[in-house]
């Protein structure tokens, strides 16, 4: 009976696999959401992870990414294909994203915006917007102090001055 028990524990460990980091999960979600757009016909690959930040907060994990994607020769329906060559002169995208995961690794909130690298004029404006949106995503699910909601002042008694 003991060898069977060991075999079962081994199968459970194998099925669970290694845990995926929140940053890896966020990057996977960026690619999934980008490829789910109807106007995208070709597969894009991660070229560079320009910026990445992961922060543990009381109510979960906050991840912020900036990733450059490049177009390949493969159709997006060939997503599992490993040997998709990068298309020289193909389109390039920069994705700005942030995600808030709770302790069960569920997404509490997210922000994602992908821009063509030809639209550099809009890029600086998008970075400003990302900062604002990501701050809201970071606070998702957190207990935060809001002046005037729970605060009140109490005057001193008349004789104590």
DSSP letter string, 66-96: EEEEEEEEEEGGGTT-S-PPB-TT--EEEEE
Q: Is the pLDDT of residue 35 over 60?
A: yes
The per-residue pLDDT for range 48-98, each reduced to its tens digit, is 999 999 999 888 899 999 999 999 999 988 887 778 899 999 999 989 999
The fold adopted by the segment(s) 21-141 is Nuclear Transport Factor 2; Chain: A, (3.10.450)
The beta-strand segments (E) located in 2-137 are: 42-57, 60-75, 92-101, 107-116
For residues 79 and 144, the model is more confident at 79
Query: pLDDT value at position 14?
Result: 43
* Mean pLDDT value of segment 106-114: 90
CA end-to-end distance (rounded Å), the chain: 81
Banded model confidence at residue 10, pLDDT cuts 50, 70, 90: very low
Q: Quick one: pLDDT at residue 130?
A: 82
Question: What is the model's pLDDT at position 9?
Answer: 39
Confidence of residue 124 (pLDDT cuts 50, 70, 90): confident
Give this prediction's pTM. Answer: 0.70
SS3 150: coil
């Amino acid at each position: 009976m003991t060898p069977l028990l060991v075999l079962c524990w081994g199968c459970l460990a194998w099925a669970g696999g290694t845990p995926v980091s929140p940053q890896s999960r966020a990057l996977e979600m960026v690619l999934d959401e980008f490829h789910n757009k109807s106007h995208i016909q070709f597969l894009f690959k991660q070229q560079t992870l320009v910026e990445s930040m992961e922060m543990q907060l009381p109510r979960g994990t906050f991840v912020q990414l900036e990733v450059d994607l490049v177009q390949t020769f493969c159709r997006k329906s060939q997503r599992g294909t490993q040997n998709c060559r990068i298309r020289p002169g193909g389109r390039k995208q920069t994705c700005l994203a942030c995600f808030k995961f709770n302790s069960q690794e569920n997404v509490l909130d997210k922000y994602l915006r992908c821009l063509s690298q030809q639209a550099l004029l809009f890029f600086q404006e998008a970075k400003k917007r990302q900062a604002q949106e990501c701050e809201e995503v970071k606070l998702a699910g957190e207990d935060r102090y809001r002046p005037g909601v729970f605060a009140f002042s109490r005057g001193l008694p008349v004789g104590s001055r």
